[in-house]
């Protein structure tokens, strides 16, 4: 899944979290916001997303699946990277936790 930036310079990166097929036919996209507050990784419904020199968010970040929302496609500014396989798996689990399909591992 791609990681993108919103249309304001102060907007945190987000993960576009829907199928490519839906993205092509809808005017909105489901996104999971990222935060650089790594303490949030201790919460259920979150996944750690690593920064890399070539792609990814500018800093190590936490995906907040429990804050998933739809935004207009026009609010996306630029693609900044892709999640690797382990990050995809962790975000899938975080989404399941946020939706109540899996019990979160709480601290």
- pLDDT bracket for residue 81 (50, 70, 90): confident
What is the mean predicted confidence (pLDDT) over 69-97?
91
Query: DSSP letters along the chain, please?
Result: -EEEEESSTTPPPEEE-S-HHHHHH-SEEEEEEEES-GGGGGSTTEEEE---SSSS-SS-EEEEGGG-EEEEGGGEEEEEEE--HHHHHHHHHHHHHHHTSS-----
Residue 35 has a pLDDT of 92
Each residue of 6-24: pLDDT tens digit?
Answer: 544 557 789 999 998 999 9
Taking the alpha carbons of 24, 28, 30, 31 in that order, is the dihedral positive or negative?
A: positive
The yes-or-no verdict on residue 39 having pLDDT over 90 is yes
Q: Taking the model in full, what pTM does it have?
A: 0.88
Q: What is the pLDDT of residue 2?
A: 58
Q: What is the pLDDT of residue 98?
A: 95
Whether 89 and 22 have beta carbons less than 8 Å apart is answered as no
For residue 48, pLDDT over 60 is answered with yes
């Amino acid at each position: 899944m791609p990681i993108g930036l919103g249309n304001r310079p102060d907007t945190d990166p987000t993960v576009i979290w829907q199928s490519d097929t839906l993205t092509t036919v809808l005017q909105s996209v489901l996104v999971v916001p990222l935060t650089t507050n790594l303490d949030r990784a201790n919460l259920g419904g979150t996944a750690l997303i690593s920064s890399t020199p070539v792609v990814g968010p500018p800093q190590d970040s936490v995906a907040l699946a429990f804050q998933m929302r739809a935004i207009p496609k026009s609010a996306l500014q630029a693609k900044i990277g892709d999640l690797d396989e382990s990050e995809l798996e962790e975000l899938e689990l975080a989404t399941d936790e946020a939706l109540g399909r899996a019990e979160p591992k709480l601290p």
